[in-house]
Each structure stands twice: as C-alpha cells, then as structure tokens.
C-alpha cells in the first residue's frame, strides 16, 4: 500500500509557541490530504481537508487561524498549531487521498503526538 509519513512523531513545546507538523505522501501524489485530531481515549475527528494549491476546508468548531494548513505541493501538507496551549495537546493524524477510478482511497500517517506544557 501507499506510504504516508509524518514528522515529527512526537513534540513537546511550551505554551504560546507554534508547532509545525508535516505530512508527506512518499510514493504517490495527493491533491487532497486530511488532518484528524484524537484526544486521549477518544476517536479520530476530522479537523480539515487540505487541497493542493487552494485554501483548506475546516470542520465546524475548528479555528482556521489557530490551525494553519498549507498544501503547497502534491506530496506535502503542513499543519501549524499557532500559539499552542495545553488544551491543544493531542494526537494529530494526517491522511492522503489516492483518487482511483472507482474509489478514492485514504492512507493514514503514523500520527504526531503533541504535548503542550
């Protein structure tokens, strides 16, 4: 299957700082990528849809000015958590979409665990 990587896998930062998370599709091009957030003992919730060359689409309740998404190339989307606070501590997972003739398949990255002190 296709491979999606995320970097870093784990990050600890101080409150008020910004953190950038990268999501790369390693062996395919993805015009669409997705960002999910998973709080402890909860399910994955879609935060936003990232489209190459255009603005991201955010789900209701997700602050677009706080979670900046850039999808500047067909293999890279970045999520920047600006002015991070402890409540932003979470597991962030990206996925990349391969568009096939019959079905669009999502491949998930390994996730990034963010801890804000």
Partner 1 sequence: AQKVTQAQTEISVVEKEDVTLDCVYETRDTTYYLFWYKQPPSGELVFLIRRNSFDEQNEISGRYSWNFQKSTSSFNFTITASQVVDSAVYFCALSENYGQNFVFGPGTRLSVLP
Nearer to partner 1, 28 or 91 (CB): 91
Cβ proximity to partner 1: between 14 and 101 the closer is 101
Tokens describing residue 20: 């950038």
Q: Of the ranges 19-27, 40-48, 67-75, 79-87, which one interacts with partner 1 (CB under 8 A)? A: 40-48
Binding of partner 1 at residue 51 (CB under 8 A)?
A: no
State in angstroms the smallest separation of the CB of 104 from partner 1: 3
Based on the shown chain and the rule CB under 8 A, indicate whether residue 116 belongs to the binding site for partner 1: no
Q: With beta carbons less than 8 A apart as the criterion, state whether 84 and 18 touch.
A: yes
End-to-end CA distance of the chain: give it in Å, rounded: 36
Binds partner 1 (CB under 8 A): choice among 17, 18, 110, 115: 110
- Examine residue 111 and tell whether it contacts partner 1 (CB under 8 A): yes
Interface residue with partner 1, options 93, 96, 114, 116 (CB under 8 A) = 93
- Total residues contacting partner 1 (rule CB under 8 A)? 23
23: Cβ–Cβ under 8 A, 6 or more apart, which residues? 4, 5, 6, 33, 35, 76, 77, 78, 79, 94, 96, 109
Peptide bond into 8 cis (omega under 30): yes
Q: Strand 104-108 vs strand 32-38: parallel, antiparallel, or unpaired?
A: unpaired
């Amino acid at each position: 299957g296709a491979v999606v990587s995320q970097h870093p896998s784990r990050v600890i930062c101080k409150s008020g700082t910004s953190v950038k998370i990268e999501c790369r599709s390693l062996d395919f091009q993805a015009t669409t990528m997705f960002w999910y957030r998973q709080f402890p003992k909860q399910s994955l919730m879609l935060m936003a849809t990232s489209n190459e060359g255009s603005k991201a689409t955010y789900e209701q309740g997700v602050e677009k000015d706080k979670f900046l998404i850039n999808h500047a190339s067909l293999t890279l989307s970045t999520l920047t958590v600006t002015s991070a606070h402890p409540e932003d501590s979470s597991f962030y997972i990206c996925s990349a979409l391969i568009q096939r003739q019959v079905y669009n398949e999502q491949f998930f990255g390994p996730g990034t665990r963010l801890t804000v002190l």
